[in-house]
Amino acid sequence: MKLAFSTLGVPGLPVPDVVRLAASCGYHGVELRAHPEEPVHPGIGPAERAEVAGAFSAGGVEILGVAGYARVAAPGDDDAVLQDIRELVRLAGDLGASFVRVFPGGEPGRPREEGDAVAARRMATAAEYAAELGVRVLLETHDSHRTGADALRVLGPVGHRAAGALWDVMHTWLGGEQPSDTFAALSPYLGYVQVKDIASAEDTTPLPLGAGVLPLAECVDVLSRGGWDGWLCWEYEKRWYEAAAPLPELLGPGREHLARLLNESA
């Protein structure tokens, strides 16, 4: 498996510094948070996109994916949601990234079947466009669809290779789903896996990998035994937790921890 980290852990860090950090700490790739407060987002032009892609290529680091904020199960018209996804897909295509992350974002209290149907319809439309650019749109296990079983209700009816899943191990754990069950549900659709660690269900402040309660070893073991050989991406949510320790000093030990888990599960 290849290892990456998300720029959510180093908010606002300039691209050259992100590349150097990834390369010096032994990571194969980076997930770019695509928000206007970050250096890379859909609003940047062709020249900036080429510069970003060139910086990563020169540094020997892959751009794993673009983490967007479109919500495919949210109420409202399809057009605005789909336009957001198209812009993210175009950005990913220009950067040479394989994936675009979207959220479910279903409305609390709405009948589950309605949210599932809306999300599936939008994912199907987005997948057709993404496939033309060699990009996959991944539904993250998050908020209204936090388990693999939840995501499967959307992805199963879509049935398109360019519509896949992003397994966030924290949210499936918070949803009470066992890693083996998550993998069974998502394996046909799995794009990559977001790893992280927290102190408890009540305290989700990010911790160094291995210092919290999330079943990372079990998740890696399930992936390995299932023959899955994709990406593990450390999403350290520093952007939302100012008191959390700085990510750069944790990246080396974090990579070593994941490497140990991979060796133990081999």
CATH class of 2-265: alpha beta
Task: Quote the tokens at residue 219.
Answer: 């998740």
> Which of 62, 100, 67 has its CA nearest to residue 237?
67
CB atoms < 10 A from the CB of 217, how many?
15
pTM for the complete prediction? 0.97
Residue 208 neighbours by CB under 8 Å, 6+ apart: 197, 245, 250, 253, 254, 257
In the three-class reduction of DSSP (H, G, I as helix; E, B as strand; rest coil), residue 69 is classed as: strand
128, 137 contact by CB (below 8 A)? no
What gap in Å lies between CA 42 and CA 86, rounded to an integer?
10
Instruction: Please report the DSSP string for 11-66 in residue order.
Output: TT--HHHHHHHHHHTT-SEEEEE--TTSSSSTTS-HHHHHHHHHHHHHHT-EEEEE
Q: What is the pLDDT of residue 103?
A: 98
Q: What is the pLDDT of residue 265?
A: 83
105, 144 contact by CB (below 8 A)? yes
CB atoms < 10 A from the CB of 23, how many?
16
**At 261, which amino acid appears?**
L
Q: What is the pLDDT of residue 208?
A: 98
One pLDDT digit (tens) per residue for the chain, 266 residues? 999 999 999 999 999 999 999 999 999 999 999 999 999 999 999 999 999 999 999 999 999 999 999 999 999 999 999 999 999 999 999 999 999 999 999 999 899 999 999 999 999 999 999 999 999 999 999 999 999 999 999 999 999 999 999 999 999 999 999 999 999 999 999 999 999 999 999 999 999 999 999 999 999 999 999 999 999 999 999 999 989 999 999 999 999 999 999 998 87
CB atoms < 10 A from the CB of 238, how many?
21
Sorted by where each begins, the domain ranges of the chain are 2-265
Q: What is the pLDDT of residue 64?
A: 98
28, 62 contact by CB (below 8 A)? yes
Alpha-carbon torsion (203, 204, 205, 206), positive or negative: positive
Residue corresponding to tokens 């057709």: 128
What gap in Å lies between CA 260 and CA 266, rounded to an integer?
10
CB atoms < 10 A from the CB of 34, how many?
26
Residue corresponding to tokens 């495919």: 72
